[in-house]
Homo-oligomer: A and B are copies of this chain.
Amino acid sequence: MANKKCIIRLLRYKNALHRLHSLGFVKVFSDNLADAVGVTASQVRKDFSLFGICGNKRGGYQIEALLEKLNHILGKNEQQKVVIVGGGNIGAALMKYKGFEKEGVKIAACFDIDPAKYHHKEGDIPVLPLEELKNFSRANHIRIGIIAVPDIAAQQVLDLMLSAGIKGIVNFAPIRLRASSDCFINNVNLVLELETVIYFIVNGLEKSIAEIHEEQKS
């Protein structure tokens, strides 16, 4: 029922609703939302139905109420604190990005083994020695971590994160990590994202499929 694809669509609906709301819209119909997100209207209604979300026949959905419900389902009512391990290219890009706060995500700290990366300035996200990851995560109840280290280091970083109580991971290293099933790993492989596009272009398939989103990647 509440499968991964469906959750990703709910997150998309939520983002689209945010935009509509900030544009001053008050209500929305299943087909507006479908259009904004790139799915069919029945898909939207089916997804909502699965989570017991209902609107008004002929009246559509009240955006505020809908956002409220989605945030509740998606656990976005409280701000989530996240740590990054690896303050290199990707890690630094993520730290500089201003878009997380808006979505209720707070990058609490970054950890690295390279002392040249350490950084501590009021207002900035601190970059700390890797040894402090465990204490920091425990003290701050961190449950989510981002792996942005070279692939050879990724497994040991994962193990350390798990031992620090982190259970949810976004992994940018292009390798398959081994873990107990008591954690959730979301692998993001940017090279693969590019290679996928290359495949469709090289084979002249750009006409058949116009667009892919995360959820079409299973």
Chain A residues proximal to chain B, CB less than 8 Å: 4-5, 7-8, 11-12, 15-16, 36-38, 74-76, 80, 82, 89-90, 92-94, 96-97, 99-100, 103, 105, 143-144, 146, 167-170, 174, 176-177, 179, 181-203, 205-207, 209-218
Contacts and interface: CB of A to CB of B under 8 A. Distances in A.
Contact of A196 (B11, B182, B198): B11
Contacts of A76: 195, 198
A188 B7 CA distance: 16
A209 B1 CA distance: 13
7 contacts: A11-B199, A103-B195, A144-B197, A182-B206, A186-B193, A186-B211, A188-B190
A188 B217 CA distance: 11
Given A182-B206, A217-B217, A105 B194 contact: yes
Nearest to A96: B89
Contacts of A96: 89
Contacts of A211: 177, 179, 184-187
A38 B4 CA distance: 16
Given A94-B190, A217-B215, A218-B218, A8 B207 contact: no
B168 A206 contact: yes
Nearest to A148: B93
A193 B201 CA distance: 25
Given A99-B191, A146-B194, 19 more contacts: A8-B196, A11-B196, A75-B203, A76-B198, A93-B93, A94-B190, A97-B190, A169-B197, A170-B193, A184-B205, A187-B214, A188-B193, A193-B214, A213-B217, A213-B218, A214-B214, A214-B217, A217-B218, A218-B218
